[in-house]
Amino acid sequence: MKICKVENCERKHRRNGYCNAHSEQFRLFGKTHSISPIIRSRNKNSGRHMANGYVVLAKYNDFGDAGYIYEHRLIMEQHLGRELLPEEIVHHRNDIRDDNRLENFFLFENNVQHLKWHWYISRLV
């Protein structure tokens, strides 16, 4: 049996050398990453939906259990090459919640730093 060509993925090969999940990740993002969450489309037309202005994607783990992840957190994880810690905050610099360009992000270590930054900015205005 052939297995997926992504490192540490032992799922059965389906197409183009990838399992179904990594093939979908490659289709959506143009690359795969062994430690990135596997994304499948909830909405077949767009692959995403909105929650409080943020883009949310369906997330499936290795066992097929479903969950959700904010797209901006996923993009930052892929950029850093690791999963974000739960306390880390990805801030949209221009405050547009669905503008998920990497250059629009700033990563805070925790919410205390994030709130201090907002307090500081509010004092400048």
**Taking a C-beta distance cutoff of 8 angstroms, is the pair 51, 98 a contact?**
no
Amino acid symbol at 94: N
| pLDDT at 10 > cutoff 60 | yes
Query: Which pLDDT score, from 0 to 100, does residue 108 have?
Result: 97
Specify the range with the lowest mean pLDDT, choosing from 44-53, 59-68, 103-112: 44-53
Supply the range of the domain harboring residue 95: 35-124
User: Each residue of 13-61: pLDDT tens digit?
Assistant: 777 788 777 777 777 667 776 544 444 444 444 456 677 788 888 776 6
If asked whether residues 48 and 90 sit together in one domain, one would say yes
Query: Which pLDDT score, from 0 to 100, does residue 62 have?
Result: 66
- Give the sign of the dihedral formed by CA 103, CA 40, CA 42, CA 30: positive
CATH code for the domain of 59: 3.90.75
- Alpha carbons within 13 angstroms on the beta-carbon side of residue 32 total 21
If asked whether residues 114 and 100 sit together in one domain, one would say yes
For residue 34 the two structure tokens come to 């062994």
| pLDDT at 101 > cutoff 90 | yes
Query: Which pLDDT score, from 0 to 100, does residue 104 have?
Result: 94
Averaged pLDDT score across all residues of the chain: 79
Q: How many domains, the chain?
A: 2
If asked whether residues 8 and 56 sit together in one domain, one would say no
**Taking a C-beta distance cutoff of 8 angstroms, is the pair 49, 92 a contact?**
no
If asked whether residues 39 and 21 sit together in one domain, one would say no
Record the pTM: 0.59
> What 3-state class would DSSP assign to 105?
strand
> In which region does residue 36 sit, left (phi positive, over 0), alpha (psi from -120 to 50) or beta (all else)?
beta
If asked whether residues 24 and 83 sit together in one domain, one would say no
Band (7; pLDDT cuts 50, 70, 90): confident
